[in-house]
Amino acid sequence: MDAPADSNDAHSYDAHSYDVVIVGAGFNGLYQLKRLREAGWSVRLVEAGSGLGGVWHNNRYPGARVDCHVPNYEYSMPEIWEDWNWTERFPGREELVAYFDHVDSIWNLSPDIDLNTRISSAHFDEVSDRWRLGVDDGRAYDCQWLLMCTGFGSAPYVPDLAGLADFDGITHHTAQWPLEGLALEGQRVGIIGTGASGVQVAQEAAPVAEHLTLFQRTPVYALPMAQRSLTVEEQTIAKQDYLDVFRRRNAPPGSFHDMERVNRSALEVTEDERLEVFEDRWAKGGFHFWVGTFKDTLSDLDANRLSYEFWRDKTRSRIRDESVHESLAPTDPPYPFGTKRPSLEQTFYDIFDQPNVSLVDLKTDPLIEITEAGVLTEAGLVELDVLVLATGFDANTGGFTRLDFRGADGVLIGDAWADGVDTHIGVAAPGFPNMLMLYGPQSAGAFCNGPVCAELQGEWVIGLLDHVRQNEYTRFDTDPEHAAQWSGELAGWADKTLFGKANSWYMGANIPGKRRQLLNIPSSDVYLEALADCAAAGYEGFRFE
């Protein structure tokens, strides 16, 4: 049982004690476990789910699929990829779960992992300089160093929809899909939200549902996935270059292999040159059209408008029903292109020509309430059997603020961040000693490919912990001044790019009452350089005791 909050004795309760506890079994957590064991630390990884993979274990909804193409979304170590082959360019959830099991079989991680272990409290003990972690089933852990690897999408967000509890049908958030699955065949299905999970569920539901209704607040700028099958033979050939591929992927600007951006303005080339680049990147599919066109796409409104208009016209050409053109691909952009993460689609825009698919544009037909029978809008009642909440996450910070997470002097992290987040280079929060965050708020997070950040940010953490061990420190914290400076750095990025002009989860704008601020730096190379500079300066901004 967890110790009382006011107890100063870190060992006054029955706890499993380690040097390091890692929370989260995604790419970051598993990599940290591997490296910390190799470095000789006493370490335990705890994971709320019943299997490995983090979001990929939890994202069980129909159509769940990664948006980074092979070989971007995998570890770079030869022992992992040399005997592993993918079946698709963009692997689905089941294959990703199998991949994490493969990783486990190579690195033998499971003996040091506790599954079905949901941390409910984390309290820092000032006397012992240790963290006390409580589990919702009464178990407890005790550690010197706490590594939070919960990612930016671990806290599902369910909006305050009037009458939601009254609905007589089946309701699930996409991140809380039942393990046994849910049949959509022959059902009247409604989906609220058209982000990545909404798009993916819609593509699966449209061919089998009696009727599918999508409730859209803001149109998604979905890009063609250009999915295809992969053979073992072609991957065997490709692997001959993998050492160089991963070296380049993990080097600045990093994150994405083979997505080369044109280092010119979209406004300084001829129309023919611009269209040639646009057509080439569009045909390649995936994120090529988002991150691989011109250098000013995400920083200049006029250049951005050119990308939007190309996307709009390409998208409208897919939809025969012109009555939904203005809702799905408006004449004028409701937000700058690419300032909300584009979803990747395979058949999403085709489904709106099916007689069993309807679109409700909530801007023109507002949602009034959820009733026992379905969703009531100003135009009338949409009767449903299944209601899917594709409403996203309290991204970046929700994985912390939803816990009883207390740092020095018992301060709740939710209170410390009530007026906005301040961190030191996205890895440490002032007043929360001996705690590091990976892929967390104010890191490169959403703009850095997960496995890349797991390896590169992860190596920085290994270096910091080696520093404290060599110097026999028992505590570190960060300076509020450095954290404020880093927040200023991100505010500058919001101003000099177009991200600040969109009400996205990048900006925390999807959560009522959350301060509007850029929560991830949109440049992985600048972020990794900041980490390197910090380490080279003797971990400047940290206080060691």
Nearest Cα neighbor of 119 from 102, 133, 105 is: 133
On the 0-12 / 13-18 / 19+ scale of CB atoms within 10 A, 44 is buried
Domain 16-52+109-155+396-475, CATH: 3.50.50.60
Q: How far apart are the first and last CA of the chain?
A: 30
Q: What is the largest CA-CA distance in the chain?
A: 73
Q: Which residues pair with 122 in a beta bridge?
A: 133, 405
Give the separation between CA 310 and CA 292, rounded to whole angstroms. Answer: 14
What is the reported pLDDT for 3?
37
Nearest Cα neighbor of 402 from 411, 410, 412, 392 is: 412
Residues 6+ apart with CB under 8 A from 294: 261, 262, 264, 265, 266, 269, 274, 277, 303, 307
253 upstream amide cis, omega within 30 of 0: yes
What is the reported pLDDT for 425?
97
Q: How many helices (H) and strands (E) does the chain have?
A: 16, 20
Apex 110 CA angle, 107 and 116, nearest 5: 145
Give the separation between CA 424 and CA 540, rounded to whole angstroms. Answer: 10
What is the reported pLDDT for 413?
97
397 near 410, Cβ under 8 Å?
Answer: no
DSSP conformational letter for 239: G
Buried b (16+ CB within 10 A) or exposed e, 152-175: bbbbbbeeebeebeebebbbbbbb
- Which residue has tokens 């990093």? 254
Which residue type is seen at 169?
A: G
Tens-digit pLDDT profile for the chain (545 aa)? 333 333 333 334 578 999 999 999 999 999 999 999 999 999 999 999 999 999 999 899 999 999 999 999 999 999 999 999 999 999 999 999 999 999 999 999 999 999 999 999 999 999 999 999 999 999 999 999 999 999 988 899 999 999 999 999 999 999 999 989 999 999 999 999 999 999 999 999 999 999 999 999 999 999 999 999 999 999 999 999 999 999 988 887 656 767 888 999 999 999 999 999 999 999 999 999 999 999 999 999 999 999 999 999 999 999 999 999 999 999 999 999 999 999 999 999 999 999 999 999 999 999 999 999 999 999 999 999 999 999 999 999 999 999 999 999 999 999 999 999 999 999 999 999 999 999 999 999 989 889 999 999 999 999 999 999 999 999 999 999 999 999 999 999 999 999 999 999 999 999 999 999 999 999 988 999 999 999 999 999 999 99
Tokens of 119: 């941390």
Cα-flanking dihedrals φ and ψ of residue 366, to 5°? -65, 150
| String of DSSP letters for 184-238 | -TT-EEEEE--SHHHHHHHHHHTTT-SEEEEEESS----EE----B--HHHHHHH
CA 402 to centroid of chain Cα atoms: 17
Give the separation between CA 90 and CA 15, rounded to whole angstroms. Answer: 42
62 near 205, Cβ under 8 Å?
Answer: yes
The interaxial angle of helices 524-536 and 450-470, nearest 10 deg, is 10
What is the reported pLDDT for 1?
30
54 near 451, Cβ under 8 Å?
Answer: no
Residue 237: how many CB atoms within 10 A of its CB?
10
Q: Does residue 328 sit in helix, strand or coil?
A: helix
What is the reported pLDDT for 260?
81
Query: What does the pLDDT look like over 34-60, one tens digit per residue?
Result: 999 999 999 999 999 999 999 999 899
Residues in the chain: 545
Question: What is the domain partition of the chain in residue ranges?
Answer: 16-52+109-155+396-475, 164-389
* C-alpha to C-alpha distances, 200 to 86, 181, 204, 205, 350, nearest whole angstrom: 20, 15, 7, 9, 13
